[in-house]
Structure formats: C-alpha cells, structure tokens
C-alpha cells in the first residue's frame, strides 16, 4: 500500500476512541468506515489469552494488522499483543484528553529479553518508528527477562502500565525525564520512587556479548547513553508510554484496559 493511501484512511478514525487521534492510514481499495458502523460479524475480537480476565477487545482487525505490518513491528520483534493493548489504552486515554501530544506513542515490550531492542518509539503523524533500541528493567524484576513487578518504594522492580511523560531535568543520571504513572496501585508511585527515563552506561551491547543481557536499573526504563537525549526530547511533555508484560496480575487489575475494553465493546453495540 502506498503512503498517500495510508494517510487518507486514518483521518476517518480521528473520532474513534479506540484508535489513535490524528493517525494517517488507509486500506488500498476500501472506503473509510467507522468502527461503530461495522456489523458485529465484520469486526474482529482480540482475546487477551488470559481466560480469567475474560475480556474481548473489538477492533478494526485489518486496520490494526496493517498498521502493525506496515511499520514492520512484527519484524522488529514487538509482540502483537503488546501493540494491541498499547493502542486500546492509548485510544481511551487520548479520548479523555490525557495527552497534550498524541502524535507519539512509546511501547516497552518486556515479553522480550533485555538482549533485544524492546523500546519502540512511534511517530503516529509520520507513520514511522523513530527509535527501536534497548531498555533496562529493574534489578529485582529478573535477570535477562523482567517477570516480577512492583509499585513499592525501594523494591527496585519495574512497574507496568500506562504513563504520561512529563518535563525533563538534570539529575544524578544527567538529562532525565519525569514519568507520571497513570494506573492506581500499579505504577502511580513512579514519582515518589523516582522512576524516570535516563541514559545509562550499562544499557550497552557490549554487555550482551559478554554476559547475554544488559545491566539493570532500580526500576527505571533506562536507555543507551548515546540515544537518551534524542529519545527524551522526542517523547517529553505529554506523550504516552506503555510498559507491557504478559503478566496476569497486570492484565486482570489494569483499570485502563478494562475501561478501554468496555468503551470499545459498547461502541460496537
């Protein structure tokens, strides 16, 4: 599909909360159609895979699949489930006016090991992946994989869920970015825990070659020193950051995902 076709279609989705505001995209031959007007049998339902959550997310299947494929996110390694959840929650929060900059979304995929590039910064206006690089997890969340998460101070673990990026500052780790956790009981203590984005020398490929994984943080999503400034400058001041893991506790208790699911389901009926 050509880029000009992509741009035409996505303007038709600007009012649909489960999609990203201002996103350009298109089907090559189909006339733009709002999700709410689609017959139920023509909607796809994304099932979480966690039967205890029992949630079904109605989405424009072809649209999400084509975004995912056209950005080559599957080839880059971003899990489809992480992408689906990110889009659903982001759409819900954007509809609520949470983000002052809804043209950028950042996704951290902790289903991947730290030896993989698991940070994806996506420019939704230009429809391109701006950064795909390494990102650290908390030292008590695991070694190669992050599999334990906490909102507690001094836990030295990562916190999952949706964040709003805030202002930058110069701290003990140099140029850094404040993060506001948007999920009560899950990541809302990010500020008091000093969970921020910053550059770190231990987020380096040389460590992967020597030990099989990068270094770990005290819970911060630390990024490579050579990229931290451009990444922070791209996502600062009111964009969405989603930190994902196929963690059952998070999927069951995330109020944002539940509300996004409910609103999406209601709009289709």
List of E strands, 135-222: 161-171, 174-181, 196-200
Residue 165, strand partner residues: 179
pLDDT mean over 112-126: 97
Residue 97 main-chain phi, psi, to 5 deg: 75, 25
- The per-residue pLDDT of the chain, averaged, comes to 82
How far apart are alpha carbons 130 and 43 in whole angstroms?
Answer: 30
- Inform me whether the pLDDT recorded for 31 exceeds 60: no
Which residues neighbour 180 within 8 Å (Cβ) at sequence distance 6 or greater? 163, 164, 165, 166, 190, 191
Q: 108, 105, 79: which is closest to 92 by C-alpha?
A: 105
Q: Where are the domains of the chain?
A: 3-267
Specify the higher pLDDT residue, 18 or 266. Answer: 266
Grade residue 28 by pLDDT with cuts at 50, 70 and 90: very low
For residue 112, give the 3-state DSSP assignment.
coil
Element (H, E) at 61: helix 61-70
The predicted-structure confidence for 146-180, as pLDDT tens digits, reads as follows: 999 999 999 999 999 999 999 999 999 999 999 99
What CATH architecture does domain 3-267 belong to?
Beta Barrel (2.40)
C-beta atoms surrounding 257 within 10 Å: 23
C-beta atoms surrounding 255 within 10 Å: 13
The predicted-structure confidence for 40-79, as pLDDT tens digits, reads as follows: 333 333 333 333 223 333 445 467 778 899 999 999 999 9
pLDDT mean over 105-129: 97
Percentage with pLDDT > 90 across the chain: 71
- Inform me whether the pLDDT recorded for 36 exceeds 70: no
Residue 163, strand partner residues: 181, 241
pLDDT for 263 equals 76
Q: Which of 83-97, 109-123, 177-191, 211-225 has the lowest mean pLDDT?
A: 83-97
Grade residue 24 by pLDDT with cuts at 50, 70 and 90: very low
For residue 119, give the 3-state DSSP assignment.
strand
Specify the higher pLDDT residue, 4 or 111. Answer: 111
Q: 48, 55, 33: which is closest to 265 by C-alpha?
A: 55
- Inform me whether the pLDDT recorded for 185 exceeds 90: yes
Which sign, positive or negative, has the C-alpha torsion 227, 231, 233, 237? negative
Specify the pTM. Answer: 0.80
Element (H, E) at 73: helix 73-76
């Amino acid at each position: 599909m050509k880029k000009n076709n992509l741009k035409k279609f996505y303007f038709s989705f600007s009012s649909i909360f489960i999609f990203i505001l201002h996103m350009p995209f298109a089907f090559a031959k189909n006339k733009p159609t709002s999700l709410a007007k689609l017959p139920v049998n023509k909607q796809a339902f994304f099932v979480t895979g966690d039967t205890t959550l029992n949630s079904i997310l109605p989405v424009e299947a072809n649209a999400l699949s084509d975004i995912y494929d056209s950005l080559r996110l599957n080839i880059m390694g971003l899990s489809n489930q992480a992408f689906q959840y990110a889009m659903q929650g982001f759409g819900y929060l954007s509809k609520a006016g949470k983000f002052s900059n809804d043209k950028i979304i950042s996704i951290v995929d902790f289903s991947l090991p730290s030896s993989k590039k698991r940070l994806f910064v996506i420019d939704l206006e230009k429809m391109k992946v701006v950064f795909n690089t390494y990102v650290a997890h908390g030292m008590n969340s695991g070694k190669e994989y992050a599999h334990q998460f906490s909102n507690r101070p001094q836990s030295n673990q990562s916190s999952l869920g949706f964040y709003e990026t805030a202002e930058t500052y110069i701290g003990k780790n140099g140029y850094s970015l404040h993060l506001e956790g948007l999920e009560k009981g899950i990541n809302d203590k990010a500020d008091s825990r000093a969970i921020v984005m910053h550059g770190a020398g231990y987020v380096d490929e040389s460590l992967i070659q020597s030990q099989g994984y990068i270094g770990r943080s005290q819970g911060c999503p630390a990024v490579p020193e050579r990229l931290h400034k451009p990444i922070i400058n791209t996502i600062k001041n009111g964009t969405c950051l989603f930190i994902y893991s196929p963690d059952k506790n998070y999927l069951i208790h995330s109020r944002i995902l539940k509300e996004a699911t409910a609103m999406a389901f209601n709009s289709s009926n």
